[in-house]
Structure 1
Amino acid sequence: MTTDRPVDLRRLAIPAYGPSLLFGLGEGAILPVVALSARDLGASVPMAAAVVMLINVGSLLFNVPASVITHRFGERWAIVGAAALGVVASVLCALAPSLAVFASGVLLFGVSASVFMLARQSYLTEAIPAHYRARALSTLGGVMRVGVFVGPFLGAAAIQLTDLRGAYVVCGLALVVAGLVGALLPELPSRSTGSAATPVTVRGVLSEHRRTFLTVGVGIMLVAAVRASRQVVIPLWAENLGLSPQTASIVYGVAGGIDMLVFYPAGKVMDVRGRRWVTVPSMLVMGLALLAMPLTSGLVAFTVVSCVLGFGNGIGSGMVMTLGADFSPPVGRAQFLGIWRELSDIGATGGPALLSGFTALLSLGAAIAASGVIGLLAAVVLWRSVPSVTGRPPAPRPTRAGGS
């Protein structure tokens, strides 16, 4: 666990947060055009949607290998390598002569994101004192969201000057700078003393901390499912109400703006009052907002509920990373966080899938309400499993199975 040692936060600000801002910007630039690029290369609508999902698939498949890479080479070089891999993925997507090559580039971008996000979380977990941790990680999540918010506008400007490939050029350039800035990260003390050579296995970490993964980890999986469903719910319910795509985009943007405004205060509350004071209210607010969404029948009510949903998501910014950092062991941290991210990605993939299944079986309104129930269930799980005070959670009970 990170000790409460003095740390120069200003020295870390640009090298620690700059790459996240730039990676988010690059991701935001390409997300709106991946499906369109796939269509231009001959994909059907369902196939284009599947190509978009390859980003999540790449991340889901590579979280555990990413933890091994980060443990072996260190957080700084993992960030630099992930940025370089993202540049290669951007070039593949921009110059792809066929749908297969383009899909490979999209999948590779997901792999790059997996390594990058795990390494940046692992670095700040080690570098920042525990009493600043939630603020640091909430800011990390918030900065990434700012990048994703700004990216589409820069991508649109590049497309206006060229064509769809312009968005991938923006992404590639942003990741080049992200890699250069990431190379400026100060080396962690644990790296310079050689702790990276400590033999640790993913299986050992999973066995030793299985109780944590089966309690808080399940809560995190539910949180990710609710958050991912939120991104689908707003445009789908807008269409159900007969609103234009432009109106739906504006409502989504306003809700996203509220989301971005509250990440730092939420982190401070987690540091000062405890993790429960944010994790549980975040899921309660999101769950109740999702339950209220099917009851809206006009633009004003829909906008208000969407903004409440955005607020609930915003106050939870960084909570998944913070809890992962709290429970992660000093030895085997990268492996622990790789498993943690795997649980989160499973939830993020399963949430929209459950929404789709409930919609097919019942109706869109019932499916959205079911997502709300999952949010309330997540609040209950987090209330029962997250410590009520700040600081390190109780250590896991020793197990006879192979430890780390």
Structure 2
Amino acid sequence: MTSARLRPARLSPADILRTGGVGLRARRARVVLSALGIAIGIATMVAVVGLSTSSRADLLSRLDRLGTNLLTAEAGKDPLGQEVKLPKNAVAMVERIGPVEHATATGNVDARIRRSDAVPEERSAGVTAQAARPDLLAALGGTVGKGVWLNTANEHLPVTVLGAIAAERLGISEPGEKIMMNSEYVVVVGILEPIELVPALDRVALVGFPAAEHHFAFDGHPTTLFERSTDSSVDDVRSVLARTVNPGNPSGVKVSRPSDALAAKAATDQGLTTLMLGLGAVALLVGGVGVANTMVISVLERRQEIGLRRALGATRNAIRLQFLTESLLLSALGGLAGSALGSAATYAFALAQRWTAVVPPWSLVGSLVITLLVGALAGLYPAVRASRLDPTRALNAT
């Protein structure tokens, strides 16, 4: 009668997890420090992705609100370096383009702006003057923060509406105060909120076209023309806008799309996000090295335990699984903590910036997958080394 061959018992998944967890619970301080490296790397990556996504979402929301169908046509310079003057009827000509829904203009006014006559003329406040039409604010989607905007009743009078930065530089906080434009006092009737699509207007004092011609010798020629058309026809209008604004010298007209600056900012943010993800990956790599170091030291410290388990019948595969599980659990703890920290940082910063916080689910899933891969790689060598220990020598180790 032959005896049946003995087969080693197989560990269930629950047994593997329990065995792997025992080693971590016995060395809690070291586990926390090792997991911290993984947590920092994962937190950096999750926060970078979350903040970048939140920033782009806010930017796209602003673009949707402001519109991408605004084009500007500015007077350039001729080959001799002289500034080209746009025709006085440029707005009327642009309005004849079929898809154009709205057209308006501003013109540069030669006026020195001071807070009062006590300030010398040569010490300007860094504020320029421009003539504006009453329909400018509607075309740009701007709003008046305080006071009123230019209208058909006051555009003939010596009154002005200040941009947000212009008001700050002049020390004007409320409408009704007076400032000096050249040698004439002008009443401030309104202060604008920042104009996102045309930030240059934030530093300007705006007066009506008739008032600029009567009080400041403005010649009536517009300097910058703004037009809005249907979204589907923006490129078509752009291709003919310069010739329409100045048929005699279209090369002297610079046509641009203000929303392109916001789109370029989104592209810049994407490049910065890639750089920061690289830094997060470096931190994660350092964390992985820390996990590997912890596991190697753990194998050296637990040689007698390994030898005893081998003597009691544990297979090399069981030893490998034990230490590989410890490494995976250690990395998973760091990954979960890092995901939580990264998400919290995203929500806190987005709240401070008044953004809508967005943490893409794929970033959380991806961070967990990356964490487990790092744990597997970090624990592979220590696990194999532990499984190859000779039981006799391991038991006799001091």
Q: Quick check: which has more Rg, 1 or 2?
A: 2
TM-score normalised per structure 2 = 0.25
More helix by share: 1
More strand by share: 2
TM-score, length basis structure 1: 0.25
